[in-house]
Structure 1
Amino acid sequence: MSVAQNSSPQPVADRLEALRSEITGAHCRPTDVLSFGLASLDDRLAGGGLARGGLHEFAAASAELWDDAAATLFLAGVASRFGGRDRQVLWAVTAFDLYAPGVEQAGLSPTKVFFAQGRRNVDILAIAEDALRDGALGCVVAEVSSADMTATRRLQLAAADSETPLLLFRRHRSRGRCPLETPSAAMTRWRIGSTASAPLPWSGVGRPRWRVELVRQRNGAPFSLELEACDAEGRLALPAAAADRATAAERAVRRAA
C-alpha cells in the first residue's frame, strides 16, 4: 500500500508539467520569426529573430525629435519587412505626425500601409486588438503614450492567436522618464536613439547611425549595438570599419578619374 501511495503522485506531476509546457507553447511560437539578416543581432535574439506571433515594444531613447525619428524609422523598417511584398500594414495613431517620404525611405511605401486614428490610447489599443484578431494583415503598428499590463497581455494573446506581429510604439509625452519603465507582457522591448554618423572623406552626410538597445527579451539577455539606419528595403547594416571606408573612397576616386 505504501509503495502505491508513493508512486502515484509522480504521473500527476508529469501531466501537470506537460500541460504547463503546452499552454506556454500555445502563446509563444519561436519557430516563425523575422530575422534581421545580421548575425551580430540575430544571434543575440532568442529564436534568431522577432516572433511573428508576438507583441514587440519600441521607445525612443529620449523625448528629443531626432531620437523619436530614429525609433519611428527603425519601427517602419521592421513593419515593412514583416509585411513583405503582398501584405498590408496598419498603423494606428492618436495624432498623425508621420513624414511619409521619410517612412518610405525606411522601406514602408504608401502602397503598403494604411492608417487609423483614435482620440485616446484606449481607442488605439482596441483598434490594434481588432486588427490582430482579423488575421489578414502582415503587421500592426500602434502608437500610445501608455498601456498597462492587462492591455499588453490581451495584445500578446491576440498576436499569438493570429500569428500577426504587433509593434507597440510607446511615445514620449514628457521628458525624463522612459516609457519602458512600466511592466509589460511584450516578448521584446527596444530603445532606439540616434548617434553620430561616420565622417566621409568628401562633403556630405553619411548614412545615419542608431544606438539599438534591446532592454528586455523573453528567454534571452539584453544587449546594445550601434547600427546603420534602415535602407529602402528596411534592412539595417553594421558600421563599416574606418579603414574599409577609406579604401572604398580611394577606389571610387580612382574610378571617377
Structure 2
Amino acid sequence: MSAVREHVISDLRARISSLESPAVKKLGCLEFGVPEIDGVLPGGGLAYGALHEFAGGGAGTVDGAAAALFAAGIAARTKGPIVWCLTRPDLFFPALAQVGLHPDRVIFVESDKEEDVLANMEEGLAHGGLGAVVGELVRLPMTASRRLQLAAERTGTLALVVRRWRRQTEANDFGQPTASTTRWRVSVLPSEELAVPGVGRARWLLELMRVKAGECAEFCVGACDDKGRIDLSTGSADGSHSASRSIHSG
C-alpha cells in the first residue's frame, strides 16, 4: 500500500470515528487474538454494539454450517447468556460445544416466520445483559438491519446474523446492502495435515467482504477451538500465503 493511500485511509477512519457517538466509542471490541485479522478491523476487533453478518461459501453456501460455527465461536467468547433465534431447529449441539459454546448458555427461540426471528432478535438486543444475539435468516432487508444495528448500539450487545439459504439462487441476496458493520463469508478448506493417519483441525477461508471504515481481506485460519478461538493457518489449500489484504475498501 502506498504512503499516500495509507494516509487517505487513516484520515477517513479518523473522520468516521469523530462522527460516532461517545456511547458507541466506549463499547469497545471483541478481539480475535490474531494480529493480522484484528489489524484490519477498526478498533482492533469485532465491534460490540454492532451488527455482523456471516454466510457460507463454496460447497457450504446453502447450509452455512461453517458460518454458524464461526458465529458460535464468537458468541462463546462473550460474557452472559446467548439468545439464538431460528426457524429450523437443526443445530447440532455437540458441534456448538466443540467451538466453545455450551448449550446451557444458549436460549433457543424458535419461530415459524423470519419476521418473527427479526422481532425476537430486536427484543433480545433491547433487553441488554446478553453476550450476543444470534439470528438465522434468509433475507436481511436494509430497514430490518438498521433496526438491529440501532438496538445493538443501545445496549452494547453483539448482533450476529447467520445467512442460511434453502437454495443456491437465494444466496444472491448476500450482495444486497445492509447496515451491518462487518460481513464475512466462511468456506471450508481441507483440514490440517497430521504426521500420523487421522483428521486434523478443520480449516476455513475467512473472507471479510465488508467492514465500515476498513479494508476487505481474506485469511486462511484454523477453525474455532473449544474456547471459540481461531488462529492463522500455516498456508492455504493451494500453498499460497495464509493471509492477504485486498485493494478494495469496505
Decide whether the 8 Å contact of 1:172 with 1:179 is kept in 2. Answer: no
1:69 corresponds to 2:65: yes
* SS of residue in 2 equivalent to 1:48: coil
**TM-score, structure 1 normalization:** 0.80
1:45 aligns to 2:38 (yes or no): no
The reply on whether 1:128 has 2:124 as its aligned counterpart is no
CA separation of 1:67 and 1:61: change in aligned 2, threshold 3 A: farther
Q: 233-242 vs 94-103, which deviates more?
A: 233-242
Verify: 1:159 aligned to 2:152, yes or no: yes
RMSD: 2.2
CA offset digits 1:113-151 (Å, max 9, x no partner) = 110011111100000000111112111001110121000
Q: Secondary structure at the match of 1:59?
A: strand
Kindly state the Cα deviation for residue 241 of structure 1 after the two structures are TM-superposed.
6.7
1:95 has 2:88 as partner: yes
Aligned match of 1:194: 188
CA positional deviation for 1:24: 3.3
Q: Secondary structure of the residue that 1:203 maps to in structure 2?
A: coil
Query: What is the rounded CA distance, in whole Å, between the counterparts of 1:200 and 1:58 in structure 2?
Result: 29
- Aligned-pair identity in percent equals 40
Unmatched 5+ stretches in structure 1: 1-19, 243-257
Q: Which has the larger strand fraction? A: 2
- Residue number in structure 2 paired with 1:252: none
- Residues 131 and 66 of structure 1: CA distance in aligned 2, closer, same or farther (over 3 Å): closer
Which structure would you say has the larger Rg?
A: 1
Residue 211 (structure 2) pairs with residue 214 (structure 1): no
Q: Distance in 2 between matches of 1:209 and 1:26?
A: 38
- Code of the aligned partner of 1:126: A
Q: TM-score, normalised by structure 2?
A: 0.82
Residue 226 of structure 2 is matched in structure 1 by: 232
1:54 aligns with 2:47: no
2:28 match: 32
Consecutive unaligned residues in structure 2, runs of 5 or more = 1-15, 237-250
| Residue identity matched to 1:203 | P
Deviates further, 195-204 or 20-29: 20-29
Q: How many residues are treated as equivalent by the alignment?
A: 220
Residue 150 in 1 paired to residue 143 in 2?
Answer: yes
Structure 1 or 2: larger helix share? 1
User: Which residue does 2:12 correspond to in 1?
Assistant: none
Aligned mates of 2:40, 2:141 — CA distance in 1: 27
Q: Which amino acid aligns with 2:94?
A: P
